[in-house]
């Protein structure tokens, strides 16, 4: 009897693993890479560059810092491209990078690439290869822990930051149950390769609604933002490990925030139930006296979709300040 039960269980798990592999393959067919690949310290990163349309002043991107869009947890470059990338690219050089293990960027085992600090180092290396000497970092959610890490470690590369609903400080409570499962040795891999895709496929639409609440998600968001890429086993594990290590990382980074001197704008929704504005954005603004905090009434965790014009205005403000610091006389003219 026990033998038959074990055989039945093995058959079910095998079927789930096969279904997950088929589902992951379909997701990849539906959402192929849209950019190009560059290798930084042995890690292949997926990078997409956007810029002013044909006929625009070709010298414009070189006269200002590039804009680097950094996605949050469960995301990829298509999310930030949908929200801001195409809009900003009408007048600016825009660079989007899949964080290691997300979208189409790889995650190297044994390289601690779940750490925002390590991801910041790899992104800095990518920007160096792309010839970006100065950049305005526009980072959402978990990316809001990475951007300050880059500003602290490579301040010469960062002209300023615009943080959107950022994770910056320790928070009470824990993380979602599936992150706790996925971070476990062996069990996490087993879960990712058998159950993450079928469970995720059932709940992902509800998850999207929760992230955007109280606003509705844009029409076609799940497809245009390629959100199902995170259901692939390797991406699911990478995302879970990012989230699982985030509390420890921001706790260690908090004492360093006063060292950040670059112009910074923080934009957050007052009704953000995913990342508390009080615990994170308001506390970060207090840590950086020169920072500007914008609280958006009746807005949730996706201010880049709810108020893109405010985000764009903040970016333009940072760029103007960066140009003024670089060449005051040129700006006056």
Residues 6 or more apart whose Cβ sits within 8 Å of residue 285:
266, 291, 292, 293
Alpha carbon of 168 to those of 25, 91, 100, 227, 325: distances in Å? 35, 30, 20, 23, 27
Strand partners, 163: 139, 266
Q: Parallel, antiparallel, or unpaired: how do β-strands 135-140 and 43-50 relate? A: unpaired
Task: For residues 45 and 109, give the distance between their C-alpha atoms in angstroms, rounded to a whole number.
Answer: 15
pLDDT tens digits, residue range 62-110?
547 999 999 999 999 999 999 999 999 999 999 999 999 999 999 998 8
Read off the pTM.
0.92
DSSP state of 30: H
What are the structural domains, with CATH classification, of the chain?
A: 34-169+247-325 (3.40.50.1820)
For residue 329, is pLDDT > 60?
A: no
pLDDT tens per residue, range 265-321: 999 999 999 999 999 999 999 999 899 999 999 999 999 999 999 999 999 999 998
Question: Residue 239 is encoded by which pair of tokens?
Answer: 């995302």
Distance CA 319, CA 133 (A): 14
Tell me 41's DSSP state: T
Confidence class for position 13, pLDDT limits 50, 70, 90: low
Beta bridge partners of 48: 96
pLDDT tens profile 85-98: 999 999 999 999 99
């Amino acid at each position: 009897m026990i033998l038959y039960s074990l055989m039945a269980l093995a058959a079910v798990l095998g079927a789930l693993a096969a279904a997950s592999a088929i589902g992951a393959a379909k997701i990849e067919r539906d959402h192929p890479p849209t950019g190009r690949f560059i290798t930084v310290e042995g890690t292949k990163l997926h990078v997409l560059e956007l810029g002013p349309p044909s006929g625009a002043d070709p010298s414009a991107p070189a006269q200002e810092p590039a804009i680097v869009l950094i996605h949050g947890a469960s995301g990829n470059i298509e999310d930030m491209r949908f929200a801001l990338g195409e809009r900003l690219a009408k007048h600016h050089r825009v660079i989007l990078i899949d964080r290691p293990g997300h979208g189409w960027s790889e995650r190297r085992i044994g390289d601690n690439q779940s750490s925002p600090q390590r991801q910041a180092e790899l992104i800095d290396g990518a920007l160096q290869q792309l010839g970006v000497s100065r950049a305005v970092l526009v980072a959402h959610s978990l990316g809001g822990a990475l951007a300050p890490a880059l500003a602290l470690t490579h301040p010469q590369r960062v002209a300023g930051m615009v943080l959107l609903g950022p994770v910056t400080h320790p928070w009470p409570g824990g993380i979602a149950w599936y992150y706790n499962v996925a971070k476990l040795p062996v069990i996490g891999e087993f879960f990712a390769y058998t159950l993450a895709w079928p469970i995720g496929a059932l709940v992902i639409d509800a998850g999207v609604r929760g992230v955007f609440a109280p606003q509705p998600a844009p029409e076609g968001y799940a497809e245009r933002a390629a959100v199902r890429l995170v259901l692939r086993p390797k991406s699911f594990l990478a995302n879970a490990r990012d989230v699982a290590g985030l509390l420890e990382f921001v706790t260690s980074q908090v004492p360093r925030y006063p060292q950040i001197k670059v112009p910074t704008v923080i934009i957050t929704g007052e009704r953000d139930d995913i990342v508390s504005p009080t615990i994170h954005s308001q506390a970060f603004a207090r840590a950086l006296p020169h920072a500007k905090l914008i609280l958006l009434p009746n807005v949730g965790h996706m201010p880049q979709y709810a108020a893109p014009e405010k985000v764009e205005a903040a970016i333009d403000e940072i760029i103007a300040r960066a140009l003024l610091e670089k060449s005051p006389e040129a700006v006056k003219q």
